[in-house]
Chain A
């Protein structure tokens, strides 16, 4: 029996600043997980991953991360992905800085 496939997002670190980014539906990179494209089809997820990995002058460390469809877009499953999507817990830096500035 095939193992069940969890929906995925394509994620990486931005080449220049290292920030966590996700592939969106327009083949662009977004810093916001909720704006990422969620792949519910395994083959499509892997195809997108392969294509994204070729964009080596934009990103580093591309991989597929499990996610679920949430109210406002994809949401993380594992806590590691949750921390990646929101930034460190001890300072308002990185993604926390961005959200606070926007708020």
Chain B
């Protein structure tokens, strides 16, 4: 885990002191809201529907127990005892008071965290594969690159006033768990035919109003060129990106309007200009950062207890079936802790739950935790002999839900329960779907199925890349939910297709139910997932299930 050096610490302290003074000047009336707003947004403070919201960055989703404990303490002391983990690996506090925010930021700084650039037209929190450093299929740990990008992008003078926000993701595996192709820019660590490590660069992906799958800008950028290459991309975007129309300002539109070839040429030219100025400082810094991400000292111990527990405890077995992933060390497993018990708000964890996870990480997981963009918490390194104990502790804290990758493992943005930009609610829709399929006792039978819900076109809930996507809209003053089908967030990324007319708030859960029953009828067997069935058959039979009256009218 990266530890702040004096430079980082001083920078954050200075920035927090500045913001404290700005808050004071806002409260005494010497700053207007218009003057204060850009200042608070630079520090992650939003004004939402019912209260302020503080968005704290969790760089590349990585935490240790001290950081997680601090997040819990902040939730108790200055918020309402919980936090909301987001699809951008941030945590949001929904109820901070303006006067308390400087203290919250100081508390974060104590554990090397901040809320800088979690808003505004800047380079946002750099996200990463939540299995980074642990996954069996990984070429290299992507987090040193992500940390390098965090340091480079934080307060980078050239990129504080981009045309629009800019999101970067980094991954080290061919299997994409970081939704690389939905980012403005993404870095995938790859190996060339000769075994040399380098980077594949994606550009121009993004969801929102105009969803687009990222395109490969370069198939192989050598290690030494990465930072100047990325800076070249940002430079080109900063000049070329549109500033006349907010809806056309993201780099996906720049790429779309100018063409990938043109962008590539410009990036190449810019790269040649700036490359000499880097003079190897970036490589030296990366070397230093890599020291912070050494693999843990893996235990050399028997794993027998694990197999026994799987045999004897069906609840444990069910959890291991859904919530474990392959670790690169054969005696280890990656545990995904579901913070989506049926009926709960997706992505919310209470302070007590945060502490339980922090303590488990400290005692059994080499003191590491990750937040996934799917709004769950990962214990990346758990020795298999410890799994029964880890599960027992999680279960006791309401964290033992065995639903990872299943229909109740829903991504949902805050929607109109919190978000000022929302056009409809998303949380209650997620709660009802999860509760309904739990009642039906169907979710294990249904298997892998990702539902993703956004409360407006901005698509923070990634609905475009959900197998079933749900978008909440305001249609003539009434909540209305549009369904998209066949989206995919992985290396085979696809934007879902709109199924047809939207559904009213009380119609959306039954509509999803019809879809799922149709899938169960149509699939060739339990091994054929919803997405595979959809790809085989196309939208037709699913539309028929969604709109039975229309299907009947056609038949008549």
Expressed in whole angstroms, the Cα–Cα distance for A93 and B98 within the complex equals 17
Q: A31 to chain B: closest CB distance in Å? A: 11
Residues of B close to A20: CB separation below 8 A: 49-50
Q: Does A13 contact B (CB under 8 A)?
A: yes
Decide yes or no whether A28 CB sits under 8 A from chain B: no
Cross-chain contact A89 with B50 (CB below 8 angstroms): no
* Number of residue pairs A-B, CB distance < 8 angstroms: 77
The answer to whether A18 and B427 touch across the interface, beta carbons within 8 angstroms, is no
- Chain A at the B interface: mostly helix, strand, loop or mixed? loop
Interface size, chain A (Cβ < 8 Å): 25
Stretch from B27-35, B114-122, B484-492 at the A interface: B27-35
Contact yes or no, B50 A87, CB < 8 A: yes
Asked if A60 contacts B47 (CB within 8 A), the reply is: yes
Contact between B33 and A94, CB atoms less than 8 A apart: no
Distance between A88 CB and nearest chain B CB, rounded to angstroms: 4
Interface contact A18-B51, CB-CB below 8 Å: yes
| Residues in A whose Cβ lies below 8 Å from that of B32 | 56
In B340-368, which residues have CB < 8 Å from any A CB?
A: 345
Beyond A18-B98, A56-B32, A89-B428, whether A94 also contacts B51 by CB under 8 A is: yes
A78 in contact with B98 (CB, 8 Å): no
Q: Hey, which chain A residues are within 8 Å of B209, CB to CB? A: none
Which residues of A sit under 8 angstroms from B427, Cβ to Cβ? 88-90
**B345 surroundings in chain A (CB, below 8 A):** 90-91
B417 adjacent to chain A (CB < 8 Å) = yes
Question: Does A71 count as interface, using CB distance less than 8 angstroms?
Answer: no
Tell me whether A93 and B80 are in contact in the complex, defined as CB-CB below 8 angstroms, given that A16-B27, A61-B33, A79-B479 are known contacts: yes
Known: A77-B477, A91-B80. A17 touches B51 (CB 8 A): yes
A3 interface residue (CB < 8 Å to B): no
Task: Say whether B95 faces chain A, with CB atoms less than 8 Å apart.
Answer: yes
Do A95 and B50 contact each other (CB < 8 Å), given the known contacts A80-B416, A90-B417?
yes
Contact with A along B17-43 (1 / 0, CB 8 A): 000000000111100110000000000
Instruction: Kindly state whether residue B52 has any CB partner on chain A within 8 Å.
Output: yes
The answer for the CA separation of A56 and B25 in the assembled complex, in Å, is 11
Instruction: Determine the distance from Cα of A80 to Cα of B95 in the docked complex, in whole angstroms.
Output: 19
In the assembled complex, the Cα of A80 lies from the Cα of B94 at a distance in Å of 18
Digitize B98-117: 1 where CB-to-A-CB distance is under 8 Å, 0 elsewhere. 11000000000000000000
| Interface contact B52-A83, CB-CB below 8 Å | no
Bits for A6-29, please: 1 = Cβ < 8 Å to B, else 0: 000000010111111000000000
Interface digits, A64-89 against B, CB 8 Å rule (1 contact, 0 not)?
A: 00000000000001111001100111
| 9 tightest Cβ-Cβ pairs between the two chains A and B | A57-B29, A18-B51, A88-B417, A18-B52, A94-B50, A60-B33, A90-B345, A17-B97, A90-B427
Q: Can you name 10 A-B residue pairings with CB atoms under 8 Å?
A: A16-B97, A16-B99, A56-B33, A79-B416, A84-B49, A84-B50, A88-B417, A93-B94, A93-B95, A94-B95
A residues near B (Cβ < 8 Å) are 13, 15-20, 56-57, 60-61, 77-80, 83-84, 87-91, 93-95
